[in-house]
Structure 1
Amino acid sequence: MTKTALIAGQGGLPVHLLNALRQSGEDHVVAELDGFPSEVADADPVRFRVERLAPFLDRLADERVDRVVFAGAIRRPRLEPGLIDPKTVTLLPRLLGAVQKGDDALLREVIAIFEDWDFEVVGAEAVAPDLVPGPGLLAGAPSEDDRKDAARAAEIVAGLAPLDLGQGAVVAQGLCLAVETLPGTDAMLAFVAEHAAGLRRDPAKARGTFYKAPKSGQDRRIDLPTLGPATVRAVARAGLAGIAWEAGGVICLDRAEMVAEAEAANLFLWARES
């Protein structure tokens, strides 16, 4: 019987995956990086440090874990050299070398290390398939201009991938109003909301589309883009017409609430085929 380790970061995704594991009756263990508590409740998580990564992996193996799923945001911790054990020392050159190449390279190296311990690393959709919508409309209907803006935003997000920047962009009337960078989606949409009046060519035409997609070439088992009800509310405050995203490549948390929020604000939600 499969046993899954949920490596829980911050945000709502770990909560959804833990609920899915509990509902399925699958044996599981929850783990958290020390200093980055998750929102999971009553899970009695195992806490680990990067400085003692090898003993943590050994513990998972001793507990007969078969597969691992990463969920939620985790910032890079500050390492304390005095805590590093001899076995983990052998892993640090791999991790530190990957850090110099960007977040995607670091995440791929983390996956490779877990696989070296014979764990199957899976994406969130392997635990909760309903979190990743396939192609189609969830709410509303984009206009032809909205569809053109979504296509333009998709081109921009694809162009950002080699730079290892964000996974989103806002386009209105063919103009890029903002791209997602390190501060994240909320900061980008807040900027658009604050400057909306002066950003558009013609207020009477297309209001704009927020588009989200994974970075091209990224390992989709980890760090998939995530949307939720709060994103819908932020898009409404920014005066946009709706949200489009790459079908099969974005996690939608609380989908029913997202749809209700979108319908109340007269926004479209569109899982767009790439």
Structure 2
Amino acid sequence: MTRIAVIAGQGALAPAVIAALDAPLVYALDGFAPDGVDAAPFRLERLVPFLDSLLDRDVSRVVFAGAIRRPRLDPELFDNRTAQLVPRIMMAMQAGDDGALRAVLDVFGEHGLEVVSVADVAPDLIPGEGVLAGEPSAADRRDAERAALILATLGPLDVGQGAVVAQGQCLAIETLPGTAAMLDFAARHVGLRPNPNGARGVFFKAPKPGQDMRIDLPTLGPDSVTQAAAAGLGGIAWAAGGVILLDRDESIRRAQSAGLFLWAMPPA
């Protein structure tokens, strides 16, 4: 009987994915296990022996769930086989984090392990097209489309997966500090909207163009709704089929309570 393993990253996604599976094996990079998750640790310096151990336990599929930060590597801990991969991964890292992740996924595949997406194992976490709460106005829809265009244009630069647009003006773009920092920045510059009585603005989220959909999908949840409300925005829009929504019922409840819309937009 084949098994599935979860590589658990930080945040609320890993527990949600684990709950959707039938007794998966759970692992995490040493020192980066998510709170409340019992995960066996492993180190990148011994990646190949770790992959061997998965095969020994009849694992055939692996899903990455949650934020994974780049750990500090200890050269003295590398085994001979993993050390041979270092030049290849270092070269991939020159193309950014996406390149490094693709290189690691390739290594999993070369060892006979299929890396699957969250959509494959927990499809209920990824909403299809439709409005889940409230109703975006025509101006909101234009702002969401403008934000989608901005992210699509910036995609090749590997900058981020979110943007805030109000009345056609870009107030903030998600960068390395993350979503909360972007929304805080937007809140502090809400006065830049051309018409104080016009559309309040939209927080938009989408995968980067050409992104490997097996890993690092953008994620929203109840905290995203609370942060968007605190930023004075009118709602949240995202690319349907490409964004994870955690705790859907609570996200909808908070949006309704705050008067925000939630909209899974059709693909461009």
TM, length-normalised to structure 2: 0.98
Residue in structure 1 matched with residue 45 of structure 2 by the alignment: 51
In the alignment, does 2:183 pair up with 1:154?
Answer: no
User: Unmatched 5+ residue regions in structure 1?
Assistant: none
**Aligned counterparts of 1:182 and 1:224: Cα–Cα separation in 2:** 15
Counterpart of 1:79, as a letter, is: L
**Aligned counterparts of 1:155 and 1:205: Cα–Cα separation in 2:** 21
SS in 2 for 1:234: helix
SS in 2 for 1:66: strand
What are the equivalent positions in structure 2 for 1:43-122 lying under 5 Å apart? 43=38, 45-122=39-116
What are the equivalent positions in structure 2 for 1:207-222 lying under 5 Å apart? 207-222=200-215
Give the root-mean-square deviation of aligned CA atoms: 0.9
In the alignment, does 2:264 pair up with 1:249?
Answer: no
Q: Which runs of 4+ in 1 moved over 2 A?
A: none
Residue in structure 2 matched with residue 36 of structure 1 by the alignment: 32
Residue in structure 2 matched with residue 13 of structure 1 by the alignment: 13
SS in 1 for 2:256: helix
Counterpart of 1:130, as a letter, is: D
Post-superposition CA distance 1:23-74 (Å, at most 9, x none)? xxx3421001011121243x3x221111110110000011110100001111
Counterpart of 1:238, as a letter, is: A
**Aligned counterparts of 1:205 and 1:221: Cα–Cα separation in 2:** 39
User: Unmatched 5+ residue regions in structure 2?
Assistant: none
Contact 1:13 1:72 in 2 (8 A): yes
Residue in structure 2 matched with residue 167 of structure 1 by the alignment: 161
Contact 1:196 1:238 in 2 (8 A): yes
TM, length-normalised to structure 1: 0.96
Shift of 1:83: 0.5
Contact 2:46 2:82 in 1 (8 A): yes
What are the equivalent positions in structure 2 for 1:226-265 lying under 5 Å apart? 226-265=219-258
Contact 1:2 1:27 in 2 (8 A): no
**Aligned counterparts of 2:247 and 2:71: Cα–Cα separation in 1:** 29
Post-superposition CA distance 1:8-33 (Å, at most 9, x none)? 01000000011111xxxx34210010
Post-superposition CA distance 1:181-225 (Å, at most 9, x none)? 00011000001112212x200111111001000000010010000
SS in 1 for 2:24: strand
Identity of aligned residues (%): 59
Counterpart of 2:238, as a letter, is: W
**Aligned counterparts of 2:91 and 2:132: Cα–Cα separation in 1:** 42
**Aligned counterparts of 1:28 and 1:261: Cα–Cα separation in 2:** 31
Figure out how many residues of one structure are paired with residues of the other and give that number: 267
- Please point out which of 126, 129, 133 is paired with 2:127: 133
SS in 1 for 2:189: helix
**Aligned counterparts of 1:176 and 1:249: Cα–Cα separation in 2:** 22
Post-superposition CA distance 1:83-114 (Å, at most 9, x none)? 00001011111211111110111111111110
- Please point out which of 165, 174, 182 is paired with 1:180: 174
Contact 2:5 2:25 in 1 (8 A): yes
Shift of 1:161: 0.6
